[in-house]
């Protein structure tokens, strides 16, 4: 038997199941729709956060330039921040260009956006911006240090051609600001 269904409105909020409900009437229905992102979280957006070569040394070597915060500290803080703004964070680091390219391709299939600190590859890699452009996702480029106050060769970024914006010189806080920008762009923030 085919039942006629009255008009319905759709409400979805990050972190909650979507609820499709009808207005009052003889044929009222309520359907709960569970939507999961790439990380299996209901209704939040997913962002892949990529870190390039040597960033695994953060907090361990050269604290005068890069500070004493470790990459694990940044990851923990960022995931907590993501929880507050409806973004599930998948945080990764590799010293290998090809691995970063593979991850960018994966992000293009399964994620909503990318944050990338490509480390030294920022100033040398063509493959990374190529992969970012092919992924077709919003990208925010992050650098801990102010690359424009450093050696001349760090002033140019190949990654920037594929990025909506770049945050540099603000240390670990830059990653959180990048996530805020994406939350705004992806519309994950709730009104209450």
Among 77, 79, 92, 154, binds ligand CA2 (CB under 6 A): 154
Residue 117 beta carbon to ligand CA2: minimum distance, rounded to whole angstroms: 5
Residues involved in catalysis: 66, 143
Please, which residues bridge with residue 176 across strands? Answer: none
3-state secondary structure of 52: coil
Residues 27-86 that bind ligand CA2 (CB under 6 A): 54-55, 57-58, 61-62, 66
Backbone angles phi and psi of 44, in degrees to 5: -85, 160
Nearest to ligand CA2 of 128, 186 (CB atom): 128
State the CB neighbour count (10 A cutoff) for residue 13: 16
Q: Find the length of the chain.
A: 192
Among 74, 90, 132, 143, binds ligand CA2 (CB under 6 A): 143
C-beta separation of 58 from 69 below 8 A: yes
Nearest to ligand CA2 of 82, 119 (CB atom): 119
Q: Is 120 in the site for ligand CA2 (CB under 6 A)?
A: yes
Q: Which two tokens stand for residue 26?
A: 């003889």
**Whose CA is closest to 93, among 143, 146, 57?**
57
Nearest to ligand CA2 of 14, 174 (CB atom): 174
CA distance 184 to 190: 10
Among 75, 119, 141, 186, binds ligand CA2 (CB under 6 A): 119
Q: Is 131 in the site for ligand CA2 (CB under 6 A)?
A: no
Q: Which residue has 């085919």 as its token pair?
A: 2
Q: Is 144 in the site for ligand CA2 (CB under 6 A)?
A: yes
Q: Which two tokens stand for residue 99?
A: 């691995």
Q: Is 149 in the site for ligand CA2 (CB under 6 A)?
A: no
Q: Which residues bind ligand CA2 (CB under 6 A)?
A: 54-55, 57-58, 61-62, 66, 117, 119-120, 122, 143-145, 147, 154
């Amino acid at each position: 038997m085919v039942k006629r269904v009255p008009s319905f409105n759709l409400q979805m909020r990050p972190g909650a199941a979507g609820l499709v409900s009808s207005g009052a009437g003889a044929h009222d229905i309520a359907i709960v729709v569970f939507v999961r992102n790439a990380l299996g979280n209901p209704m939040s957006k997913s962002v892949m956060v990529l870190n390039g070569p040597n960033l695994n040394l953060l907090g361990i070597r050269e604290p005068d330039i890069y500070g004493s915060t470790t990459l694990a500290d940044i990851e923990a803080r960022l995931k907590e921040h993501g929880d507050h703004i409806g973004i599930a964070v998948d945080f990764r680091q590799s010293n290998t260009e090809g691995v970063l390219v593979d991850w960018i391709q994966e992000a293009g299939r399964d994620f909503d956006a990318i944050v990338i600190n490509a480390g030294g590859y920022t100033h040398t890699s063509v493959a990374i911006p190529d992969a970012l452009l092919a992924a077709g996702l919003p990208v925010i480029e992050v650098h801990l240090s102010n690359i424009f106050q450093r050696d001349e060769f760090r002033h140019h970024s190949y990654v920037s051609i594929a990025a909506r914006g770049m945050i540099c010189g603000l240390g670990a806080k830059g990653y959180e600001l990048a996530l805020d920008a994406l939350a705004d762009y992806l519309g994950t923030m709730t009104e209450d």
